[in-house]
A and B are shown apart, each in its own frame.
Chain A
Amino acid sequence: MLRLAGIIATAAIALTAGCFAILGLAFSQHGVFPLGTLAGPIPILTLVLGVTPLAAPFCAILAMLGTAIAIWSTQRGKPIDMVLIAAFMAAMLLVLVARSVALFFVAWEAMSLISALLVASHHERRGVRRATFVYLVVAQIGALCVLAALGLLAIQASNPSFAAIARAAANLSPGTRNAVFVLALLGFGSKAGLVPLHFWLPRAHPVAPAGASALLSGAMLKIALYGLLLVTFELAAPGPISWGIATIVIGVLSALAGVIYALVDHDLKRLLAYHSVENIGIVVIGIGVALVGQAIGNPALAALGLVAALFHAINHGLFKALLFLGAGVVADEEGTVDLERLGGLWGSLVWTAPLFLIGCAAITGLPPFNGFVSEWLTFQSLVAGVLAGDETIKLVLLSAIAGLALTGGLAAVCFVKVFGVVFLGSARCRTQPRPVERFGGSTLAMGLLAALCTLLGLIPMLAVAPLARIAGAVLGALPIATPSLPVLPATLAILPLAGALFAVALAARRGVRAVPTWTCASPVTPSAQYTATAFSKPARTIFSFVLLPERHRQYEFATRWFPQRIVYHTESRYLIDEISRSVAAVTLRIARRSRAMQSGSLRLYVAYALVALIVTVALAR
């Protein structure tokens, strides 16, 4: 009953989101499509609702993911999670249609709190409670930054509605404008998982149930980016060039850090969460190019950057949801998401495995899937920016091109590892064969997402043409033309696809004789297969200056010379954890010193208050 109610509510919200997406797109030439206004008891509490063109792509993400997760939940997940997911979807949709400060903030907080409930789903585990706590702290500090940014804007405009704030944006002083930007970057950036405020994400996302992880990574991070776009392109626009440069630098750092940490992580869900940091970084690079384009008075460049960013946001929503749902199936069927304990799942998960492969290819940016197109567009926007900008911009964008290329290459390493270790070869720990997976709700949901990844990859104009219209509505210019785009993915795919068919046909006609694997005449055992730890070893060595790996080796000797067993354990330390740990240590030390002032006597505290008052008055005069 509970499950059914949740599924129907989620589907209904997804449908509403879909309608909003179409509305936003259809009215893109006229700005906001108003949904209603509710006058509050005091002006600051006025609630305004409306669909903007900028919100339309994000509504589309909610619509697609909501549908997929509703279908998925017919088969898997706890009923209570489904109700929470419906509420979570509703809160996210409310953020997208909020057009006044109070409503936006309330919806934002609802989104954070409901998602915290989802993260805490398995609260009986200690690590989960810890992750939820970290998430709540970061979410609340971020929310305060968001409130401060929006409040500052509302005070300047003396009106809490976004429309009025946007009208007054031109009169903002540079100081206020920059303060708003920094606060928005902290508030929205921490929610989106941008480096260095990403550390909560790989803790919180993996512990949520699969459907919730898919929404957290696939949709909520995008809502945070919507907030950033809202402030930088509407409420506090136009920004100076430094905004764009700061955004690009943060984007590149996030992309690289995300992928490097993902590479050495061997928990399937946590690794996917790190890839969210990476992909959000790629989206943010596009946003940065858009900001740069706007600042240097090149709206076509800005529109290209924005289209790339929005398209990658949609794409990441699709393939990341697909991968998290796939990881959910693996967790359900195998009881673990530890890469070192899995293997050979293609044999039993006959539906999930090929669909997961499509997700891996899409997130790696392989043609002809959707990730390829949006990454290609991001590169194009960077190249166009290098050609259009001054020296500083040229150097920053060139570094971004190199960083993005490295990110792409490392993502390929990581997903070869993931797919090869989890689905190919033979099982590492399990002995008896599992039953073969049947087609059902969960496979249908993943099939839907995989089909969308392929469709948007093969026919990218389905998404790029509407996004170009939206960019036109937001920035008043059409993106720089990329005439080859409509046929590019198909051109790249046709010969490899023909080759694959040819190879399969030939194998069917001529036959391929099955032989044992060559292992220098030693027996072929599952434990002889390359492991995930081994696979990521070269990368761990090359990036040891970031990863600070620690190795522990233990030999157990049976005779004097020959070890019977070697236990090898390696762990990466996290730079950000090390830094925060030292900050915490310093804070604690200061707190301990200041204890001398805290005698607990009431009279002393009154004296402190009086001294503080006198000092304040003296300073104020």
Chain B
Amino acid sequence: MLVLLQVVAVAAFAPLVQGSMKRLRANLQGRPGPSPFQPYRDLAKLWAKEALQPKGISPLPLIAPGVVLGVALTFAAALPLVAAPGGLDPVVDIIALAFLLALGRFLLALAALDTRSAFAGMAASREMTFASLVEPTLLLALLGGAMLGGGTKLSLLLTAPFGLAAALAFAAFFLVLLAETARIPIDNQETHYELTMIHEGLVLEYSGWQLAMLQFAEQVRQLSFFVLAAILLPGGAAWWMHLPWIIVLVGAIGVTETMFAKLRLFEVPQVLTTAFILAATSIVLRVLGMPV
């Protein structure tokens, strides 16, 4: 039951986090910006609208939004929050989580290719390629802390002490998070120019209630990533520290998005490689038991 509560809580706050980030970014850029609650209204409006879709040859574009939402909710259920040590934590470990995220991405990319749009194909190619570079970093950044506790469970992250190695792991994870949540400097959620889109290009052909499902899934996935990042920060083991750390993360991303421009496409791999080196250094320090 607790795990259900956890999913509901993450799902309920996910649009608010998205809205706050948008508002903060607007304010930092000297614009008033929409209310933090705007995403709720957007979702409600989209949900009520009819869905338009180019007729795909397969049912994949039809089922993809549902699968992506299912993946996001499973991710939220697997977080080691109130539900630890019960819930999904004994079953869904860090490695399974990486495979799970791949499932949603795979279907969405296929759905994009079925639309016959060159923009969607381009986005699918970029999203999949960058995701493949992110995956090793994601695993190493999370596994380091868990392996100190002797396993691969997400809840073991709660027991890992904070130090230099943990800070490196967090830095790597932060870059992973920017990539996974389609943030500047890696991607840009707000772009209206098809050629620069990565993630938004994938969902270009979705509208109405189908788009609502996809946007909601993105928000849930984003908040789940934030929670994992908060757990990696000092004191992240305590549940009451999550909220302040998430607020700090929202601020940090807002500042990052304001200070940096989107990188040229082929400079993104360099950022991802940097993240990988940070994660690798961190896990080597930890696994070899260096006193840091």
Interface presence of A567 (CB below 8 A): no
Q: Are B152 and A406 in contact (CB under 8 A)?
A: no
A344 to B143, CA, bound (A): 41
Q: Are A424 and B58 in contact (CB under 8 A)?
A: yes
Complex contacts, A424 vs chain B, CB 8 Å: 56-58, 60, 110, 113-114
Q: Are A367 and B66 in contact (CB under 8 A)?
A: no
Query: For residue A540, which residue of chain B has the nearest CB?
Result: B129
What are 30 A-B interface contacts by the 8 Å CB criterion? A366-B103, A366-B106, A367-B99, A391-B288, A402-B276, A405-B140, A406-B133, A413-B125, A413-B131, A417-B125, A420-B124, A423-B58, A424-B56, A487-B91, A491-B74, A491-B92, A492-B74, A492-B103, A495-B77, A504-B59, A504-B66, A511-B51, A512-B50, A517-B205, A518-B54, A524-B116, A528-B116, A536-B125, A539-B129, A542-B129
A512 to B126, CA, bound (A): 28
Instruction: Please name 18 further chain A to chain B contacts, defined as beta carbons within 8 Å, in addition to the given A408-B98, A420-B121, A425-B116, sorted by A numbering.
Output: A386-B287, A387-B147, A408-B132, A413-B131, A416-B110, A483-B90, A495-B73, A503-B63, A503-B66, A507-B210, A514-B53, A515-B52, A528-B116, A529-B117, A535-B124, A537-B125, A538-B265, A539-B129
A344 to B116, CA, bound (A): 10
Complex contacts, B91 vs chain A, CB 8 Å: 484, 487-488, 491
Q: Are A398 and B283 in contact (CB under 8 A)?
A: yes
Q: Known: A361-B106, A524-B116, A534-B121. Is A376-B99 also a contact (CB below 8 A)?
A: yes
The CB with the most chain B CB atoms within 10 A, among A410, A507, A526, is that of A507
Residue of B51, B58, B99, B209 touching A366 (CB-CB under 8 A): B99
Proximity bits, B40-70, A CB within 8 Å = 1, else 0: 0000000000111111111110111111111
Complex contacts, A20 vs chain B, CB 8 Å: none
A79 to B159, CA, bound (A): 64
Interface presence of B253 (CB below 8 A): no
Interface presence of B167 (CB below 8 A): no
Proximity bits, A520-547, B CB within 8 Å = 1, else 0: 1000101011100011111101100000
> Which 4 A-B residue pairs are closest in the complex by CB-CB distance?
A530-B121, A409-B132, A503-B66, A420-B113
Interface presence of A129 (CB below 8 A): no
Name the distance in Å between A151's Cβ and chain B's nearest Cβ.
42
Q: Are A488 and B92 in contact (CB under 8 A)?
A: yes
Q: Are B74 and A496 in contact (CB under 8 A)?
A: yes
A347 to B71, CA, bound (A): 28
CB within 8 Å of B: which A346-389 residues: 346-347, 353, 361, 364-367, 372, 375-376, 379-380, 383, 386-387
A529 to B57, CA, bound (A): 14
CB within 8 Å of B: which A113-144 residues: none
Residue of B65, B112, B136 touching A402 (CB-CB under 8 A): B136
CB within 8 Å of A: which B240-292 residues: 265-266, 269, 276, 280, 283-284, 287-288
Interface presence of B96 (CB below 8 A): yes
Q: Are B150 and A512 in contact (CB under 8 A)?
A: no
Query: For residue B148, which residue of chain A has the nearest CB?
Result: A387
Residue of B65, B69, B100, B118 touching A492 (CB-CB under 8 A): B100
Complex contacts, B113 vs chain A, CB 8 Å: 416, 420-421, 424-425, 529-530
Interface presence of A401 (CB below 8 A): yes
A535 to B99, CA, bound (A): 22
Name B's interface SS.
helix
Interface presence of A321 (CB below 8 A): no
Query: For residue B194, which residue of chain A has the nearest CB?
Result: A520
Residue of B51, B130, B266 touching A541 (CB-CB under 8 A): B266
A377 to B77, CA, bound (A): 22
Query: For residue A495, which residue of chain B has the nearest CB?
Result: B70
Complex contacts, B52 vs chain A, CB 8 Å: 512-515
Residue of A394, A410, A497, A510 touching B70 (CB-CB under 8 A): A497
Q: Are B205 and A501 in contact (CB under 8 A)?
A: no
Q: Are B71 and A528 in contact (CB under 8 A)?
A: no
Q: Are A491 and B51 in contact (CB under 8 A)?
A: no
A346 to B147, CA, bound (A): 44
> Across the A-B interface, how many residue pairs have beta carbons closer than 8 Å?
267
Interface presence of A554 (CB below 8 A): no
Complex contacts, B284 vs chain A, CB 8 Å: 395, 398
Interface presence of A432 (CB below 8 A): no
Query: For residue A490, which residue of chain B has the nearest CB?
Result: B91
Complex contacts, A410 vs chain B, CB 8 Å: 132
Query: For residue A390, which residue of chain B has the nearest CB?
Result: B288
Query: For residue B217, which residue of chain A has the nearest CB?
Result: A499
A398 to B139, CA, bound (A): 11
Query: For residue B276, which residue of chain A has the nearest CB?
Result: A402
Interface presence of A506 (CB below 8 A): yes
A375 to B50, CA, bound (A): 41
Query: For residue B63, which residue of chain A has the nearest CB?
Result: A500
Q: Known: A347-B57, A409-B131, A426-B116. Is A495-B106 also a contact (CB below 8 A)?
A: no
Name the distance in Å between A6's Cβ and chain B's nearest Cβ.
35
Residue of A344, A391, A394, A504 touching B62 (CB-CB under 8 A): A504
Complex contacts, B84 vs chain A, CB 8 Å: none
Interface presence of B88 (CB below 8 A): yes
Complex contacts, A347 vs chain B, CB 8 Å: 57
Q: Are B204 and A518 in contact (CB under 8 A)?
A: yes
Interface presence of B134 (CB below 8 A): yes
A477 to B104, CA, bound (A): 38
Name the distance in Å between B178's Cβ and chain A's nearest Cβ.
17
Interface presence of A412 (CB below 8 A): yes
Q: Known: A488-B91, A504-B59. Is A401-B143 also a contact (CB below 8 A)?
A: yes
Query: For residue A410, which residue of chain B has the nearest CB?
Result: B132
Q: Are A518 and B152 in contact (CB under 8 A)?
A: no
Complex contacts, A516 vs chain B, CB 8 Å: 54
Q: Are B133 and A542 in contact (CB under 8 A)?
A: yes
A213 to B64, CA, bound (A): 32
Q: Known: A424-B114, A488-B92. Is A529-B51 also a contact (CB below 8 A)?
A: no
Q: Known: A413-B128, A528-B118, A534-B121. Is A503-B96 also a contact (CB below 8 A)?
A: no
Q: Known: A510-B51, A511-B50. Is A416-B63 also a contact (CB below 8 A)?
A: no
Interface presence of B197 (CB below 8 A): no
Q: Are B125 and A499 in contact (CB under 8 A)?
A: no
Residue of A367, A383, A541 touching B96 (CB-CB under 8 A): A367
Query: For residue B140, which residue of chain A has the nearest CB?
Result: A402
Name the distance in Å between A556's Cβ and chain B's nearest Cβ.
22
A344 to B95, CA, bound (A): 34
Complex contacts, B62 vs chain A, CB 8 Å: 503-504, 507, 512
Residue of A353, A420, A423, A526 touching B109 (CB-CB under 8 A): A420
A507 to B59, CA, bound (A): 11
Q: Are A518 and B117 in contact (CB under 8 A)?
A: yes
Q: Are B50 and A496 in contact (CB under 8 A)?
A: no
Complex contacts, B67 vs chain A, CB 8 Å: 496-497, 499-500, 503
Q: Are B276 and A534 in contact (CB under 8 A)?
A: no
Interface presence of A590 (CB below 8 A): no
Q: Are B106 and A364 in contact (CB under 8 A)?
A: yes
Residue of A413, A483, A496, A529 touching B103 (CB-CB under 8 A): A496
Query: For residue B108, which residue of chain A has the nearest CB?
Result: A416
Interface presence of B115 (CB below 8 A): yes
Complex contacts, A608 vs chain B, CB 8 Å: none
Complex contacts, B231 vs chain A, CB 8 Å: none
Complex contacts, B92 vs chain A, CB 8 Å: 484, 488, 491-492
Name the distance in Å between A372's Cβ and chain B's nearest Cβ.
6
Complex contacts, B16 vs chain A, CB 8 Å: none
Proximity bits, B140-158, A CB within 8 Å = 1, else 0: 1001000100111000000
CB within 8 Å of B: which A464-511 residues: 483-484, 487-488, 491-492, 494-504, 506-507, 510-511
Query: For residue B100, which residue of chain A has the nearest CB?
Result: A492
Interface presence of A519 (CB below 8 A): yes
Query: For residue A489, which residue of chain B has the nearest CB?
Result: B96
Interface presence of B105 (CB below 8 A): yes
Name the distance in Å between A410's Cβ and chain B's nearest Cβ.
5
Complex contacts, A199 vs chain B, CB 8 Å: none
